[in-house]
Chains A and B, each alone.
Chain A
Amino acid sequence: QVQLQESGPGLVKPSETLSLTCNVSGGSISSRSYYWGWIRQPPGKGLEWIGSIYYSGTTYSNPSLKSRLIISVDTSKNLFSLKLSSVTAADTAVYYCARQRSYTGYDFDYWGQGTLVAVSS
């Protein structure tokens, strides 16, 4: 059973960089069948895809966030990471990491529990 777990600071100051890591267990992040994605959900609002990465390092990013976003993968540690720079209060959200299947229409079949990140001084 694949499990994903997000980790990182729960509070980030405006203009600083939000950094999160997703540890994957129960399966290899180097599998050719999957991408690994980040999705966020502002309080009381809907889901927003942030971006996804393949084990090779190929990334896809939401155009609205692309200029501030870096997604990376560490296959030796079976984890992937998110860095979002120049954050504002609008970046306050629950951040989820998830496994994305490339062979079934890019659905997200396994999700982490999510971590709330607040942007505030």
Chain B
Amino acid sequence: QSVLTQPPSASGTPGQRVTISCSGSSSNIGNNVVNWYQQFPGTAPRLLIHNDNQRPSGVPDRFSGSESGTSASLAISGLQSEDEADYYCAAWDDSLNGAVFGGGTQLTVL
């Protein structure tokens, strides 16, 4: 069971806006920044969002992150077929003194 809670699946049609939630606690999301990773089958995860809402170079601005209290969200606007992947949230946890991940959300583009 993951420390951070994500819905196991999400879906949308091309062009739609989709959001993926990530719920934590005061020891992780409530006191530290949230990072998001995108993973395609058979490949390593890729950093998608860091510091709650910052995009690394090369990440389209269709991807955005937000955080409020002990929860965070990843939003994907103008959904495209190539966005079909697994998405993971992560944060530092002060109680565990380590990094924690969400269980991952499998995004399907219908």
Contacts and interface: CB of A to CB of B under 8 A. Distances in A.
Asked if A pairs with B, the answer is: yes
Interface of A: 37, 39, 46-49, 51-52, 60-63, 96, 100-101, 104-109, 111-114
Interface residues of B, number: 29
A100 B37 CA distance: 13
Contacts, number: 72
Given A47-B88, A106-B92, A111-B44, 6 more contacts: A49-B98, A51-B98, A52-B98, A60-B97, A61-B98, A111-B45
A98 to B, nearest CB: 8
Interface in B52-102: 52, 54, 56, 88, 90-92, 96-102
Interface of B: 2, 32-35, 37, 43-47, 50-52, 54, 56, 88, 90-92, 96-104
A101 B51 CA distance: 11
Contact of A109 (B50, B90, B102): B50
B47 A107 contact: yes
Q: Do most interface residues of chain A lie in helix, strand or loop, or is the interface mixed?
A: strand
Contact of A107 (B2, B44, B90, B100): B90
B51 A109 contact: no
